[in-house]
Amino acid sequence: MNEAAWFPPSAEEAADIGGEIHALVSRLFPICRSITGEGVRRTLAILSEHVDVAIREVPSGTNVFDWTVPQEWNVRGASIRTASGKTVVDIADSNLHLVGYSEPVARRMPLSDLRAHIHTLPDQPDLIPYRTSYYSRSWGFCMAHCDYLALEEGDYDVVIDTTLADGSLTYGEVFLPGETEHEVLLSAHICHPSLANDNCSGLAVLAFLARALAGRRRRFGYRFLFAPGTIGALCWLAANEDRLSKVHHGLVVSCIGDGGGPVYKRSRRGDAMIDRAIEVIRCDGRKVTMVDFSPFGYDERQFCSPGFNLPVGLLQRSAFGTFAEYHTSADDLDFVWPEHLASSFRMIMDIIDVIETDRIPLNLSPKGEPQLGKRGLYSATGGHKTTPEITMAYLWVLNLADGSHSLLDIARRSGLPFSTIATAATRLEACRLLGDVQA
């Protein structure tokens, strides 16, 4: 591990990261993924090219709290053709055409029977919806509503070449040890097929974050989890139940590649450090919109269930379900932009910077305001109508550095960026106005 002190990535390091992340999203996008199967393994193999991913397999039938790991599902093909052989729907054109976990089918049926197995979006007639049926045996197709309306009466040949058999659920894990036993958990779900924002973007951003952190000195350990939604997170929790007390901060990351938001859903605790840290973060100059915890969403539901109550929140750009492209074929590679991926990467690195560098400073000259001018920290000319941000940061740090406020506390109280407060504290320490810094 690098023996230098913690430092965030330089502007030069971050400059081209968006293009690299988008290239990884583009490689992940075509893979047909679900909560089990070869698509997940192929995805983890690609992520392993960027960071060392440990692969975990959980056998079908394993009891995980109130759940059971299902049979493994794999897809070889799926299509609907007219009796004359004309292709109406083919999974080769889009993974979204097949309802996830559809059981095998090979039969001819009239359109009147087929309609019950077709899902569309009448309000978005040109888009293909995303649908699944993980825990009940069923089958179905998804298609654009305009194509559905064009179907002619008659017989159709339906072929779903899938397998449902005992196998395993697969998830990936990266652990970067720190100087303490305390850990930061960063999680992204790996089960969605051909949805670029939800959640190829989360997988790719976390892979590059893990790569960036691997060569840096770390106060905390960092655990990256790439797991199928719900059942994958539960498998990880069950396997690590005896060591969950080490998780001091956590983020579920999804829908992180578009230009909206950002939006953060607080942990169930509501006042965990990760909740407070994100209040002082900016993304492209914008504050993060903070929303309270609710038991609906992604795997923060599992991490924050009452039996665990981990300090884990959900970070997104546009919140799930609020953008028109969500869970449709419009969530494609044109919807996620390199610049948005780059700013999301920097935003999470800024959050990590808060976690790594927050400390409790102590004012060594607390009786009255120290004279900053003679230390080169204050303008020699007074009377200005406005005060520079860094000067306000000096004053806030000195006033609140009473041994009971951390730098994060000071940033929240002052409304100034954490990075500005941290810079001010470093300069005040150099002038011997701050000392006895506690970890």
Q: Is 152 a domain residue?
A: yes
Are 368 and 421 part of one and the same domain?
yes
DSSP β-bridge partners for residue 108: 157
Confidence (pTM): 0.92
Q: What is the pLDDT of residues 230-247, one digit of tens each?
A: 999 999 999 999 999 999
Q: Is 3 a domain residue?
A: no
Are 234 and 365 part of one and the same domain?
no
Query: Which domain CATH number covers 237?
Result: 3.40.630.10
Q: What share of the chain is helix, strand, coil (3-state, %, to 5)?
A: 30, 25, 45
Are 183 and 310 part of one and the same domain?
yes
Q: Is 6 a domain residue?
A: no
Cβ count near 285 (within 10 Å):
6
With beta carbons less than 8 A apart as the criterion, state whether 96 and 147 touch.
no
Are 139 and 120 part of one and the same domain?
yes
Final residue before a domain boundary, out of 165, 195, 223: 165
Domain count, the chain: 3
Q: Give 95's contacts (C-beta < 8 A, 6+ positions apart).
A: 30, 31, 32, 33, 193, 194
Tokens of 15: 């400059």
With beta carbons less than 8 A apart as the criterion, state whether 101 and 133 touch.
yes
Are 37 and 182 part of one and the same domain?
yes
Residue 146, domain extent: 83-165
Are 200 and 302 part of one and the same domain?
yes
Q: Is 426 a domain residue?
A: yes
Are 307 and 277 part of one and the same domain?
yes
The per-residue pLDDT string of the chain (439 residues; one tens digit each, 9 = 90 and over) reads: 333 344 555 555 555 899 999 999 999 999 999 999 999 999 999 999 999 999 999 999 999 999 999 999 999 999 999 999 999 999 999 999 999 999 999 999 999 999 999 999 999 999 999 999 999 999 999 999 999 999 999 999 999 999 999 999 999 999 999 999 999 999 999 999 999 999 999 999 999 999 999 989 999 999 999 999 999 999 999 999 999 999 999 999 999 999 999 999 999 999 999 999 999 998 988 999 999 999 999 999 999 999 999 999 999 999 999 999 999 999 999 999 999 999 999 999 999 999 999 999 999 999 999 999 888 887 654 444 446 889 999 999 999 999 999 999 999 999 998 999 999 999 999 999 998 655 4
Final residue before a domain boundary, out of 329, 357, 385: 357
Final residue before a domain boundary, out of 165, 180, 195: 165
Query: Which domain CATH number covers 131?
Result: 3.50.30.90
